[in-house]
Amino acid sequence: MLSFSTPVAKLNRIGKATAARLKKMGITAVADLIWHLPSYHEDLSRIVPINQVKVNEKVTIKARVELIANRRSKIKKMNLTEGLVSDDTGSIKVIWFNQPFLTKQIKVGDELYLSGKVDDEYYTLQLTNPLWEKVKSDTIHTARIVPIYPATSGLTQKQLRFLIKQILPLVREMDDYLPNQIKYQFKLMHLSDALFNIHWPDNLTKLSEAKRRLKFDELFGLQIVQAKSKVDLKSQRAPRIPFLESATKKLVNSLPFKLTDDQRKAAWEILQDLDKNIPMNRLLQGDVGSGKTVVAAIACLNCALNNFQAVLLAPTEILAFQHWQTLNKTLADFNVPISLFTRSHRLTTISDKKLTKKELLRQIKEGEIKIIIGTHALLQEDVFFNNLALIVIDEQHRFGVEQRKQLKDKTPNLLPHFLSMTATPIPRTLALTIYGDLDISLIKQKPPGRKEIITRLITPDKRKKAYNFIREKIKQGQQAFVICPLIEESDKLGVKAATSEWEQLQKKVFPEFKIGLLHGKMKAKDKQEVMVKFKNKEIDILVATAVVEVGVDIPDATIMVIEGAHRFGLAQLHQFRGRVGRSDKQSYCFLLTDQFDSKTISRLKAMEKTNDGLKLAEFDLNIRGMGDLYGVRQSGTPNFKIASFEDLDIIKQARQAAQQIINESPDLSLYPLLKKYFDDKIKAVHLE
């Protein structure tokens, strides 16, 4: 008897070789085969009378074989099988290449379905290499909507269809884990209907209903997992960090600027979370330059003054160093021991010497240091904390359950609170899906007085003019960035591209100015030296690779030049642009490109039109699709088989459904089938 767990090797007509090929695609049991979903379908269901077929169309005809014979072509030394077939309306020539065995399988007088492309050979129509099948009520490869499966070499569509067709009756007995009430509410097919129709659709409507159901399942699954992990987190305990009102006020009043309302609100949401003994899991989302760092500083201060430890992690050493400087300045009045701990830095505010790694690790372990700044790599180090209570991660989009566990092992106490900060603009529905387990704080406003960054597309003929413009601005004491893209695959870090641009600018274009170079191959110390010089205005123009993409804050820089702008996604261009416009001076962004196709131009024009990161993200989503949406790829999003983040309507429905279910039964005990389904899934993930 066949069951879902039967090994595929036991199926009819599967030999060792086929079983091995299936295994390569992850298919070992019958259930895997059932879940091997078609990548698309071909509608071969319409039968066309022979006198109506047209050149270059793909058609299916139903015809009788009049003639069939093999012959060897003289010119190309190929085996040709030629036939003539006819229906009531006419006849047409058929030709197959290199399949001489066909004359054994097809005989004169056979009734066949033939599906294939119509060619025009010397003024006569001909079907070339058509799929064929003898006429019967239940066809597999022709005269119906036919599934096309993802396959590896060695496995044919015919084989896959044959195999899957064999086991499909099993699907009829399948239980549906989705509660009836949800199916009813969202008008979803039964699971077994959906699986049946995704493989062998009765018609196109059923096919699209089947797709909708299966997409729903994936998106629903993701959201259940997230909703559940949110609930699970609530049952864990974190150190309570009481809100220190007067210290917080003192900090806010000492700032050289007034906090925006959104910054206040975000800080307040965070401080309230910290003041509970439930672990915070919050995303602080705010466009580039919206001032997230100071909000993080407020949280770190409350943590430190309550005698707990906080870590602040940045994606690069440059940024970690910048945060170190900012926090030193911002928290100067509070005497809080802070440390910068990266591959090349071991600094503390307690002494001005560079410490040994051992000594610094000791100070952290014994709780002498309260705020530790580092890169994301810090978590992999042998760091042990005394009483870590807050983790702030800058510009990383996701912090998994695994990393949380890792940290729990590094501190003897409760689970730390967690704050993630990102400038990646993601449309709200998507954010709620991808970050469904996080609470979100938004900083929408920019600090007052910031001007729109004037953005211009620069074609090669206007380059000179742009350089003259930059020259004038630099003479007035302003500064510029020049970003170089990766051009050659071999130049992974863009070192070559940036270096030659730097030479060109220094020697030929701006010999009168001081030009700096920054790329990922440089030693951290050298990178930092360049950044400090740029900040101190000892460098006028900084030529850089994408390393400056996130976070770098040089308020006096007002000009951003992006070479090969067409090579970047809009969200990434927007990130670069966000490096300027950080003061009340008018800033400019020049997008250089030598590509003039309409798609490129319309994308880059969108940058000219708006400074709104979210609008750009939506625009990019429409033209380039989700895969390119910057940041989403790095968010550790699951690999969907059939759903995608473009299915916004289904996302919304799945989210609503998941919330209903979790509200009603957080541990899913009211829905045993659903519970089993997720338990099995989780088990499978752990076994892998």
Give me the residues that bind ligand ADP (CB under 6 A), please: 257-260, 263, 286, 288-294, 423, 447, 551, 553, 555, 582
CA-based nearest residue to 317, from 635, 572, 577, 551: 551
290 binds, among ligand ADP, Mg ion, none (CB under 5 to 8 A by kind): ligand ADP
Under the binding rule (CB under 5 A), the answer on residue 201 touching Mg ion is: no
CA-based nearest residue to 94, from 73, 76, 67, 58: 67
Neighbours of 450 (CB within 10 A): 17
422 binds, among ligand ADP, Mg ion, none (CB under 5 to 8 A by kind): none
H/E stretch holding 263 reads helix 261-274
Q: Would you state the structure tokens that stand for residue 117, as one six-digit string?
A: 């492309």
447 binds, among Mg ion, ligand ADP, none (CB under 5 to 8 A by kind): ligand ADP
Neighbours of 18 (CB within 10 A): 18
* Stretch of 84-92, 551-559, 629-637, 662-670 contacting Mg ion, by CB under 5 A: 551-559
CA-based nearest residue to 576, from 495, 483, 440: 483
The three-class DSSP label of residue 424 is coil
How far does the chain reach from its first CA to its final CA, in angstroms? 28
257 binds, among Mg ion, ligand ADP, none (CB under 5 to 8 A by kind): ligand ADP
572 binds, among Mg ion, ligand ADP, none (CB under 5 to 8 A by kind): none
Q: Are 408 and 415 in contact (CB under 8 A)?
A: yes
614 binds, among Mg ion, ligand ADP, none (CB under 5 to 8 A by kind): none
Under the binding rule (CB under 5 A), the answer on residue 315 touching Mg ion is: no
Residue of this chain nearest to ligand ADP (CB atom):
291
CA-based nearest residue to 543, from 575, 509, 572, 516: 516
User: Which is nearer to Mg ion, 142 or 290 (by Cβ)?
Assistant: 290
Under the binding rule (CB under 5 A), the answer on residue 239 touching Mg ion is: no
Give the residue, chosen from 551, 581, 613, 631, that forms a contact with Mg ion under the rule CB under 5 A: 551
Q: Are 386 and 364 in contact (CB under 8 A)?
A: yes
Q: Would you state the structure tokens that stand for residue 265, as one six-digit string?
A: 């609100």
Under the binding rule (CB under 5 A), the answer on residue 581 touching Mg ion is: no
User: Which is nearer to ligand ADP, 559 or 668 (by Cβ)?
Assistant: 559
Q: How far is the CB of 354 from ligand ADP (least distance, A)?
A: 26
The three-class DSSP label of residue 421 is strand
Cα(65)–Cα(110) distance, rounded to whole angstroms?
Answer: 5
Q: Would you state the structure tokens that stand for residue 443, as one six-digit string?
A: 């900083």
User: Which is nearer to ligand ADP, 84 or 259 (by Cβ)?
Assistant: 259
Q: Look at the alpha carbons of 536, 542, 545, 549 in this order and tell me if their dihedral is positive or negative.
A: positive
User: Which is nearer to Mg ion, 189 or 297 (by Cβ)?
Assistant: 297
279 binds, among Mg ion, ligand ADP, none (CB under 5 to 8 A by kind): none
368 binds, among Mg ion, ligand ADP, none (CB under 5 to 8 A by kind): none
Q: How far is the CB of 551 from ligand ADP (least distance, A)?
A: 6
294 binds, among ligand ADP, Mg ion, none (CB under 5 to 8 A by kind): ligand ADP
Q: Are 445 and 668 in contact (CB under 8 A)?
A: no
661 binds, among Mg ion, ligand ADP, none (CB under 5 to 8 A by kind): none
User: Which is nearer to Mg ion, 115 or 424 (by Cβ)?
Assistant: 424
Phi and psi angles of residue 377, each rounded to the nearest 5 degrees, phi first:
-65, -20
User: Which is nearer to Mg ion, 116 or 551 (by Cβ)?
Assistant: 551
User: Which is nearer to Mg ion, 198 or 312 (by Cβ)?
Assistant: 312
Q: How far is the CB of 424 from ligand ADP (least distance, A)?
A: 11
Q: How far is the CB of 402 from ligand ADP (least distance, A)?
A: 26
- DSSP per-residue string spanning 579-640: TS--SSS--EEEEE-----HHHHHHHHHHHH---HHHHHHHHHHHH-GGGSTTTGGGT----
Q: How far is the CB of 293 from ligand ADP (least distance, A)?
A: 3
Cα(447)–Cα(305) distance, rounded to whole angstroms?
Answer: 27
Q: Give the binding-site size for Mg ion (rule: CB under 5 A).
A: 1
189 binds, among Mg ion, ligand ADP, none (CB under 5 to 8 A by kind): none
Under the binding rule (CB under 5 A), the answer on residue 631 touching Mg ion is: no
Q: Are 303 and 390 in contact (CB under 8 A)?
A: yes
Q: If you search the block for the tokens 């300027």, which residue do you land on?
A: 580
User: Which is nearer to ligand ADP, 70 or 445 (by Cβ)?
Assistant: 445
User: Which is nearer to Mg ion, 83 or 551 (by Cβ)?
Assistant: 551
Cα(568)–Cα(575) distance, rounded to whole angstroms?
Answer: 11
338 to 303, 319, 348, 367, 636: CA distances (angstroms)? 12, 16, 6, 11, 31
Q: Are 398 and 426 in contact (CB under 8 A)?
A: no
User: Which is nearer to ligand ADP, 213 or 292 (by Cβ)?
Assistant: 292
Q: How far is the CB of 325 from ligand ADP (least distance, A)?
A: 11
User: Which is nearer to ligand ADP, 132 or 399 (by Cβ)?
Assistant: 399
Q: How far is the CB of 394 from Mg ion (least distance, A)?
A: 6
Q: How far is the CB of 292 from Mg ion (least distance, A)?
A: 5
By the criterion CB under 5 A, which residues form the site for Mg ion?
A: 551
